[in-house]
Amino acid sequence: MEVAEEALLCFPLLANTSCRKMHRPPSAAALTYMLLSAISLITFILNLLVIIAISHFKQLHTPTNLLLLSLATSDFLVGFLMLFQIFLLDGCWFFGDLMCVVYYILDYWITSVSIGSMVLISIDRYVAICDSLHYHIKVSQTRVKISVFLCWFVSLIFHCICFINILKQPGRYNTCVGECVIVVTYAVGMTDLFFSFIGPLAVIMVLYMRVFVVAVSQVRAMRSRVGILILRGTTVKSSELKAARTLGVVVVVFIMCIMPYFCIAISGQDVLLNASSAAFIICLFYFNSCLNPLIYAIFYPWFRRSIKIIVTLKILKPDSSQAKIM
């Protein structure tokens, strides 16, 4: 009995103070471990390919692709954080109180950056479709780089401020050894919810509704054998519409994957979830970071060509960065 009791403890040597492991059916636990591990590995590899492709090939150094690079970087880091989530599935944290707080800050930060990158992508497509004549003036490489930097920097500062009190005293809310718990005030929680989800989602939906209206008009024009749509003095190219369609798919998939997680957060019903439901929502939340490169592979010929060059190691040849990808 003592052996069985020790097996249920996070730290068997600290029997009096150790937390207990979360009880879950072995089959469900094994399936969740394998699923998250597979998602983490695929997320690592695919997003690394996106990062290498956009960074290496000069032809891909466009404002839109810089935003995709920001999104791929955040998705790559999500794959890294997923490894820590695997440890938390049993309810045991083995990396200390300070690393617990750092983990949550990184988790909130990277998630916020992903959503921020989606907002920037939506703005980019809005300008490209609805004000294409001034696109190259309004959306320059320099402006995009500054926007991406601010997205990462402001999000980091915001979440460090949110967790400043917990950083001063890590583990203050833990009730046993091996627990990783943080508590934020209602005001901070609602501010973060608006800053990281409600506000960005509203911006994305409004911008893409406008893009959708223009896209529909373009399709009607093309059906009537008009190659270029002129709408209120705006000229829209078919290539821009294809990019808007692809990135629209990315945005829709993103919203579908994160919506359950934030809906639970808004309703405050997370305590009513059983272990299987919670694991599914977490897997779906992280799975989005794995899906984005797959969407690029389906819709972007340049990404498929880039993968072929990278995998066959032709990328190591001199002047490979000058290769024609698009």
The residue range of the domain holding 237 is 32-322
**Mean pLDDT over the full length of the chain:** 79
> In CATH, what number is assigned to the domain containing residue 219?
1.20.1070.10
- What the block records as the tokens of 244 is 């808007």
- Residue 269: inside a domain, yes or no? yes
- Residue 193: inside a domain, yes or no? yes
- Residue 91: inside a domain, yes or no? yes
Q: For the segment 72-125, what is each residue's pLDDT rounded down to a tens digit?
A: 999 899 888 888 777 777 778 888 888 888 888 888 899 889 889 989 988 988
Residue 277, CA distances (Å) to 88, 261, 264, 292 in order: 15, 11, 11, 24
Counted domains in the chain: 1
CB-based burial of residue 226 (10 Å sphere; 0-12 exposed, 13-18 middle, 19+ buried)? exposed
Q: Which residues contact 31 (CB under 8 A, 6 or more apart)?
A: none
- Residue 201: inside a domain, yes or no? yes
Percent share of the chain, pLDDT over 70: 81
- Residue 210: inside a domain, yes or no? yes
- Residue 6: inside a domain, yes or no? no
Tell me the pTM.
0.82
- Residue 18: inside a domain, yes or no? no
- What the block records as the tokens of 116 is 């921020």
Residue 251, CA distances (Å) to 170, 256, 314 in order: 36, 9, 32
Confidence at 27, pLDDT banded by 50, 70, 90: confident
CB atoms within 10 A of CB 80: 13
- Residue 81: inside a domain, yes or no? yes
Q: For the segment 29-52, what is each residue's pLDDT rounded down to a tens digit?
A: 777 788 878 888 888 899 999 999
Residue 267 and residue 257: Cα distance in Å, rounded?
A: 17
